[in-house]
Structure 1
Amino acid sequence: MKFKKHIFAATAIITAIVLAGCGSNKQGSASKGTSYQSELVKKGSLTIGLEGTFAPYSYRDNGKLTGFEVELGNDIAKKIGVKPVFVPTKWDSLIAGLGSGRYDVILNNINKTPQRAKVYAFANPYIYSRYVLISRHDEKGFQTVNDIKGKKLVEGTGTDNFNVATKYGATVVPNGDFPTALGLIRQGRVDATINSREAFLAYAKSNPTSDLKYVDLSKTLTPTAVQPMLNKQAPQLLAKVNTAIQELRQDGTLTKLSEKYFGSDITKAN
């Protein structure tokens, strides 16, 4: 009897080890196949960071948040199968908010830079923004981007426009609010600003701009690829967003949104 008890005990131990090993394998397998849902700030929702003050990308119309990137965010969330939640945030805190986990993705006319790419992941581009140099209508000294050397430009800190302005020798006054920047130009407190052509044309639809003009810088500066920005710790979500943008491009949704908000198709590099 004692011998049989020892056999039973040994068998039980071996069975327990095998079962534990199976459980470990399942856990490892589940870890490898982690759903993108576990990467979301809030399960079932795609939390989107944007400014909400930069027409036509994202802005408020009669108090309601709207714009190209708002509709794009809705469409991406629908493709993924989750609810969109928008978190309007000032530019100065926008990227930091992604890093601290306030939202899953930034849709805010943002582009990939070497510095950002070290920390964050970028999905496929959805539009290509053209640079323009905006100044007072009576300003005759601006013909190319090289003419900004030694001039005073107003740009949002950390933006690609800021980087271009400093690269070409301008003195930069930091301010990321577009209407305020144009006001500084009108008042003569700065000479100009580099920004997107699309933002200026959208502004001109509902605001007088006869005292302002712009020079297209496309011959010197390559149009910027505008991309969703995500955390590197969310590879499954990145893949989902990439697929969604690809499908929205293929089914014509991106083009329709671009024509609606920008008056032309700017979803292609050329």
Structure 2
Amino acid sequence: MQFGKNIKRIGLALGVVAAGVLLTACSSNSSSKKGYQSELKQSKQLTVGLEGTYAPYSYRKDGKLTGFEVDLSKAVAKKMHLKANFVPTKWDSLIAGLGSNKYDVVLNNIAETPERKKSYLFSTPYIYSRYALITKAGNQSIKTLKDVKGKKLAEGTGTNNETQAKKLGAKTVPSGDFTTSLALIRQGRVDGAINAREAWFAYAKSNSTKGLVYHKVADSQAEPVKISAMFNQKDTKLKTKFNQVLQQLRKDGTLTKLSKKYFGEDITQK
């Protein structure tokens, strides 16, 4: 932080004290910068692990890596005076790659869970993933989560959405992706689907939602899932610096801007 307030010289002694304070501050800033940089895998680079096949978070467009988490990583790295270096990795080995120091941080729409927190550090959330309930137009039997008991819902195997559906007493039908779930709803093969609202926003941004109804799920019905950046437990200084920069990007509107660019809505607010 820089202080722009001008102080008039009121004698030599005061000038010496002021100089001492200035030197101390500069030394502190330099030490802080060196601290988090010493934890980086490669000097002057923020090495980021992600899938690169998961639109709109990270994916390839015309052969170029892009997406919400790609742009976010670049914005964070820039403020840290680093260059973002991306390492696309399949999901099955993505988290393991962090443990083996393949990269500094993982940004891949990863939910902060008690189990993961036992082995890794997490940044403050940059997405608050809220649930959405999708049904076929004209279906009056499901309007809120309490209505899904006994109903058939299309859900991805092993996902938070499937866990939530089963917890509410619904019968689940395996679905490979969100588009498939919507097709099953349109065809009447299932009664609906519970999914992340950002999945709906991203789909609706470039596809017709005719024949479908989106029901907003209140936080009182299901708590938002915190999506955060993941670090190795030893990289405490890097995590702290990342959080500081993330707060700056939230304050200056960058997070909101990127969210609206890729999702059409702001999904970054608590």
Q: State the TM-score bracket (shorter-chain normalisation).
A: 0.7 to 0.9
- Confirm or deny that 1:85 pairs with 2:92: no
Please say if residues 205 and 264 of structure 2, whose CA atoms lie closer than 8 Å, have aligned partners that are also in contact: no
Structure of greater Rg: 1
TM-score (norm 1): 0.74
What is the one-letter code of the residue matched to 1:254? L
Question: C-alpha distance in 2, partners of 1:263/1:149?
Answer: 31
Question: Could you say what secondary structure the match of 2:128 adopts?
Answer: strand
The one-letter code sitting in structure 2 at the alignment partner of 1:181 is S
Change (3 A) 1:179 1:203: same
Match status 1:237 vs 2:238: yes
How far does residue 151 in structure 1 lie from its aligned partner after superposition?
3.4
Whether contact under 8 Å (1:142, 1:215) holds in the other structure is: no
Could you say which residue in structure 2 is the equivalent of 1:222? Answer: 223
Contact 1:54–1:178 (CA<8 Å) still a contact in 2?
no
Q: How far is the alpha carbon of 1:179 from its aligned partner?
A: 2.7
Q: Residues 160-202 of structure 1, C-alpha deviation per residue, up to 9 Å, x if partnerless? A: 3233223223344555633333344445554433222222122
Aligned match of 2:257: 256
Q: Which residues in structure 2 correspond to 1:54-69 (within 5 Å)?
A: 54-69=54-69
Indicate conservation of the 8 Å contact 1:44/1:83, yes or no.
yes
Maintained 8 Å contact 2:127/2:269 = yes
Q: Supply the AA of the counterpart residue of 2:60.
A: R
Partner in structure 2 of residue 167 of structure 1: 167
Q: CA deviation digits over 1:4-34, x for unaligned, max 9?
A: xxxxxxxxxxxxxxxxxxxxxxxxxxxxx98
Letter in 2 for 1:261: Y
Structure 2: distance between partners of 1:162 and 1:179? 16
Rounded Cα–Cα distance in structure 2 between residues aligned with 1:200 and 1:46: 31
Whole-angstrom distance in 2 between the partners of 1:182 and 1:113: 27
**1:175–1:49 CA distance, 2 compared to 1 (3 A):** farther
Aligned 8 A contact 2:52 2:88 in 1: yes
Q: Which moved more, 1:220-229 or 1:175-184?
A: 175-184
Give the CA deviation at 1:132: 0.1
The aligned counterpart of 1:267 is: 268
The 3 A distance-change label for structure 1 pair 245 and 210 is same
Which of the pair is proportionally richer in helix? 1
Bigger mean CA deviation after superposition, 163-172 or 115-124 = 163-172
**Number of equivalenced pairs:** 237
Question: C-alpha separation between the residues in 2 aligned to 1:176 and 1:110?
Answer: 18
TM-score (norm 2): 0.74
- Alpha-carbon distance between aligned partners in 2 of 1:69 and 1:176, rounded to the nearest angstrom: 22
- Structure 1 gaps, min length 5: 1-32
Q: Which residue of 1 aligns with 2:25?
A: none
Equivalence for 1:94: 94
Gaps of 5+ in 2: 1-32
**CA displacement at 1:239 relative to structure 2:** 1.1
Q: Secondary structure at the match of 1:39?
A: coil
Counterpart-to-counterpart distance in 2, 1:181 and 1:41: 40
Letter in 1 for 2:148: I
